[in-house]
């Protein structure tokens, strides 16, 4: 049970903070001398973070149901569809992703790459656009950035928020689109890997404790990041991921 709570907290906080959840699910077990959760278990923990983002953005998601009559809702649905399309690549590289997640060295290098990207985000500007001004090519750029984050250690939120800022969206709007884009990405990963876990004998009861923990910590992480990104940007997380990457290389 203790391990499930630890994995849930790690998953919830690091899924939305731009520090890579997949990377921390490898790094933290290495530091604590624990066995890391396998890819399927990690995917089930994503159910908790899915609940978190659904709860936090419930109004946005509810408004999209009126896409037939509401132009703003239709635009947002279209942006999410375009941004999600590149994620299909993930189905084709599942085995490679699993192999990379077993390598602490590879994950540590990816954390260093994340740090460099987050640091570079501080040079982007001016940021003046709102999400309701978004076009399909903006969503495509963010979607491609999300595909890069399939590599364990590359932060999904870090890549997508930075890509959105690169398209001149204000940081809070870039984060909003990143988190909304997480809904189909997380749901798809949880479904695919969750089915594999069911075939292997089902989901242990203790994992559901981790799912609940991930939901609570994930909600808190979204609220924290949205407040912080507008004030300080992503650079504080850049320093953290660089340190984490260096620590990983040292103990690898």
For residue 215, pLDDT over 90 is answered with yes
Of the pLDDT bands very low, low, confident and very high (cuts 50, 70, 90), residue 40 is low
pTM, two decimal places: 0.90
pLDDT of residue 35: 77
The domain of 223 spans: 2-251
For residue 209, pLDDT over 90 is answered with no
For residue 7, pLDDT over 70 is answered with yes
pLDDT of residue 240: 96
Give the number of C-alpha atoms closer than 13 A to the C-alpha of residue 5, restricted to the C-beta side. 2
* pLDDT tens readout for residues 47-57: 899 999 999 99
Three-state DSSP at 17 gives: coil
- Long-range pairs of 229-236 with CB within 8 A, sequence gap ≥ 24: 229/161, 229/171, 229/172, 229/175, 230/170, 230/171, 230/172, 233/121, 233/122, 233/171, 234/18, 234/118, 234/121, 234/122, 234/158, 234/161, 234/162, 234/171, 235/118, 235/119, 235/121, 235/122
For residue 61, pLDDT over 80 is answered with yes
Tell me what the mean pLDDT of segment 124-135 comes to.
Answer: 91
Tell me what the mean pLDDT of segment 200-221 comes to.
Answer: 82
For residue 200, pLDDT over 60 is answered with no
Percentage with pLDDT > 90 across the chain: 56
The total of structural domains in the chain comes to: 1
């Amino acid at each position: 049970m203790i391990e499930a709570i630890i994995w849930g907290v790690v998953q919830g906080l690091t899924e939305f903070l731009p520090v890579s959840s997949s990377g921390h699910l490898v790094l933290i077990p290495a530091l604590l001398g624990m066995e890391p959760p396998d890819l399927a278990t990690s995917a089930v923990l994503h159910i908790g973070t899915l609940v978190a983002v659904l709860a936090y953005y419930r109004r946005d998601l509810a408004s999209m149901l009126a896409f037939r009559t509401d132009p703003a809702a239709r635009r947002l649905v279209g942006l999410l569809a375009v941004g999600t399309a590149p994620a299909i690549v993930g189905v084709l590289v599942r085995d490679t992703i699993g192999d990379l997640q077993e390598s602490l060295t590879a994950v540590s290098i990816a954390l260093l790459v994340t740090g460099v990207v987050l640091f570079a985000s501080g040079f982007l500007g001016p940021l003046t656009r709102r999400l309701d001004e978004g076009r399909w090519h903006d969503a495509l750029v963010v979607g491609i950035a999300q595909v890069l984050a399939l590599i364990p250690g590359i932060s999904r939120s870090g890549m997508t928020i930075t890509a959105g800022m690169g398209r001149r969206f204000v940081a809070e709007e870039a984060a909003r689109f990143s988190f909304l884009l997480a809904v189909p990405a997380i749901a798809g990963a949880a479904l695919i890997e969750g089915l594999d876990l069911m075939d292997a004998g089902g989901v242990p009861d203790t994992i559901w404790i981790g799912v609940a923990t991930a939901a609570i910590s994930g909600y808190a992480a979204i609220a924290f990041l949205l407040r912080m990104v507008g004030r300080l940007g992503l650079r504080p997380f850049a320093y953290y991921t660089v340190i984490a990457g260096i620590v990983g290389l040292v103990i690898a």
